[in-house]
Amino acid sequence: MNDRLSTDLRRDLEAWEQAAAAQWDRLTRSPDVLRRLGNQLSASLTSRQRIDALMQRAFLQTAAARPSSRELERLEQLEAQVARLVARIERLEDALRDE
Amino acid sequence: MNNLMQQWGALWGSGMARIWQHYTQAQDSIREQGRALVGQTPAQVVYTEGRLRLLHYTPRTPSPLAVPLLCIPSLINQYYIMDLTPERSLVGALLDHGIDVYMLDWGAAAEGDRHRSFDEYITGLMRRAIGFVRQHSGQPAIALLGYCMGGMMSALYTALYPDEIASLINLAGPINYHDDGIYSVWTRAEWLDADLLVDTLGNIPGELLNTTFNLVRPTGIALQALDYWERRDDPAFLRRFAAMQLWTSDTSAFPGEAFRKYIKDCYQQNRLIAGRFTIHDRPIDLRRITTPALTIAARRDHIAPWESVAVFHDLIASPDKELLVLESGHIGMVVGSSASTQLWPRLGQWLAARSGPPRT
């Protein structure tokens, strides 16, 4: 791009930018536009709050439905106790048979 | 609007497309170059608290002046705007005037900062940092320079703890929030529900704040691209450009609760100027400030309109007070091409005259 073209482009671009910025400024100060944008922002924030709450509830329910590590540990202890009892009964039965 | 779109189409066809492509492709490397340029003035980190850091710059004169200066940036902008590049450094200019300079770097707010109140930033973090500077320098009272939101925070601090502040500089810190500035319009309670925003997002993300800042004048980026194209072989320009590009994209999140109070009490209810702003329920009356004060506003400031800054000068009761209105913008006043002739020397002279004798 030669200097002449760049000079012309700058002049045109500056003029365009000023006009566009002025129009943008008017638009973004308009109460109607701001009210509409504000409502949309509030609506999306409220939706996000609901989604977050749903996710949290779902997570808590899943967590509640899943046995906790403490419960798993107790189950394992019971299982071991039952196995010990079974072994003891078998030993007693063997002893009775021998008598 | 259609006419503007047609004009843009013509500009695009007459070379803007190539310029735009060149600019967007260079974005990452521009910011990378900027990272190596900013905040280069030699300093030591002398105090930390969480992400907050307190920097103490190496003096440039054998005997710096007795009263140290602490610079307070905005909560959301990087401190290095005041030390942008070695050539564009307000800090450097103040050091050249013999000032002993400290800088508060708030650090990037994290999730844990969401519940930290605006009041706690003043009476907690700021107070402890100022206490450290007083102890470190051995001076009972120090000079405070607050830029942008930091100017407003420094004014609050001076009203709360006048004995700790020897002089105050409010650099483009808004005091009146009901003006025709674009942020005053955008943050009105009629369309901005600050409670909903904070309750949903917690901290307000830096990216969201950046998008908002860019929306003030989105068309300006086209001129930036052309500037970059035209001066791509000018090393001095490229250094400034890269540092500024980095700074403008390096916005921190606004801590949630602090945002809530700042927007509602300042922008929506304009409590500060009315004397109804409180810190931990204590009303702040700026009219009772008697500390020597310099208020600096910029006539083309679209972030903190100059009248909304200058009102601080009118409000306070300081017998020694001065108002300086510069012909520049909010950021240009500190790092623009005229900063080294308009702002730095006048600020340096004002401070030097109120910073006591050189230390022996």
Of the candidate ranges A61-75, B13-27, B110-124, B188-202, the one whose mean pLDDT is the lowest: A61-75
Alpha carbon distance B220, A57 (integer Å): 46
Task: Give pLDDT, residue A94.
Answer: 86
Whether the pLDDT of residue B99 is over 60: the answer is yes
Provide the ipTM: 0.86
Mean pLDDT for B207-235 is 93
Q: State the pLDDT at residue A1.
A: 55
- Say if residue B1's pLDDT is above 70: no
CA nearest to B164, candidates B318, B11, B291, B46: B291
Among the partner residues A13, A24, A31, nearest to B222 by beta-carbon distance = A13
Q: What is the pLDDT of residue B97?
A: 97
Q: Given this model, what pLDDT does residue A95 score?
A: 87
Confidence band of B85 (pLDDT split at 50, 70, 90): very high
Q: Which of B14, B192, B219 is opposite residue A20, by nearest beta carbon?
A: B219
Distance, in Å, from the CA atom of B162 to the CA atom of B156, rounded to the nearest integer, reads 10
Least confident segment among A12-21, A88-97, B55-64, B108-117: A88-97
> Which residue among B179, B266, B301, B313 is the active-site one?
B301
pLDDT digits (tens, 9 = 90+) for A57-99: 888 777 666 666 677 778 878 888 888 888 888 888 888 888 7
> With an 8 Å Cβ cutoff, are B182 and A31 in contact?
no
Name the β-bridge partners of B65. Answer: B358
A34-56 as b/e: b if 16+ CB within 10 A:
beeebeeebeebeeeeeeeeeee
- Indicate the average pLDDT of chain B: 96
Q: What is the pLDDT of residue A26?
A: 95
Residue A3 has pLDDT above 70, yes or no: no
Give percent above pLDDT 90 in chain B. Answer: 94
Chain B residue numbers touching A48 (CB-CB < 8 A): 200
pLDDT at B327: 96
At which residue do the structure tokens 């492509």 appear?
B21
Please give the DSSP secondary-structure letter assigned to residue B126: I
CB contact under 8 A, B15 and A9: yes
> Tens digit of pLDDT for each residue in B311-334?
999 999 999 999 999 999 999 999
Q: What is the pLDDT of residue A77?
A: 81
Q: What percent of chain B has pLDDT over 70?
A: 100
Q: Which residues of A lie closer than 8 Å to B, measured between beta carbons?
A: 1, 5-6, 8-10, 12-14, 16-17, 19-21, 23-25, 28-29, 31, 34-35, 37-39, 41-42, 45-46, 48-49, 52
Higher confidence at residue A2 or residue B302? B302
Q: Which of B105, B148, B250, B266 is catalytic?
A: B148
Of B191, B200, B229, the CB nearest to A37: B191
Residue B243 CA to residue B85 CA, distance in Å, equals 7
Residue B119 CB contacts under 8 Å (≥ 6 apart), including other chains: B261, B279, B280
